Amino acid sequence: MAEVRLSGGNVGGAVRVGDTVRRAAGPWTPAVHALLQHLADNGFTGAPRPLGFDEQGREVLTFLPGETVGGRRPRPGWVRADDTLDQVARWLRDCHQAVAGFVPPPGAVWRGGGSWTRGLIVGHNDTSPDNAAWQAGQLTGFFDWDFAGPVPPGWDLAFAAFSWVPLDTRPYLAEGFTDLEALPRRLSRFLATYGWAATTSEFLEVVAARITAHADGIRDLAATGDQAFVRLADQGVPQFLDQAVADLAQFKR
């Protein structure tokens, strides 16, 4: 069966073969597959199911149907719709509920590092529009679980809000997005739909810590010679993230 290269992907890449997706595996893949199997066993349908490995040693996952952002700029209109914001918040809430009982297998390795302890969840950690599938007005789910790992629930929520509200307005401004006055309302809506119990100010502190760690992580991985992250560093992504953290002050007025 023919392989079709899937668009997008800042780190790695994937091909579609029939109703499956094949991707290069890493030391973290067994732990991610255990996580995805737990989600499937608990009735969560918004993530791929693991199907093992193929003859080339690539991981095999079920294909999430729907359109993706890929390399399209500007991004499609559904990315900025209020209803999409609600769907992403509900997806994250339901995912966190489904994963709450997951205990990683002994010796689990996570790409982003970290060790699981009770009180943490294993979050997706990269729920950006680039990793979403959208079909007939509905969020099918999120793919690209390589950076799943143990985090507080708010840490995972912070990255999603940063990407979807959006709290990082730089790429959206470049595409002609101008409704900056709507951002505080969209943030409040997102947190209410998820069920965030603390204040917005407390949440923004979590966002700042999360995105700072993200920028530092890119720098650290680039310093090891990982070419995917060398490219991100060369593109100035860590500096853009640093500026986005500084820009969070506008939401505290």
55-64: per-residue pLDDT in tens?
999 999 999 9
Instruction: Give the pLDDT mean for 182-211.
Output: 94
Mean pLDDT of the chain: 92
Q: Which helix (H) or strand (E) holds 61?
A: strand 59-62
Instruction: Give the pLDDT mean for 125-140.
Output: 96
Q: Check residues 49 and 118 and name the one with the higher pLDDT.
A: 49
Is the confidence at residue 197, as pLDDT, over 60? Answer: yes
Q: Give the global pTM.
A: 0.93
Is the confidence at residue 253, as pLDDT, over 60? Answer: no
Confidence band, pLDDT 50/70/90 cuts, at residue 248: confident
What is the CB neighbour count within 10 angstroms for residue 173? 12
Please state, in angstroms and rounded to a whole number, the distance separating the CA atoms of residues 2 and 18. Answer: 8
Instruction: Give the pLDDT mean for 86-96.
Output: 98
- The reported pLDDT for the residue numbered 9 is 54
Nearest 5°: the CA angle 68, 70, 74 is: 95
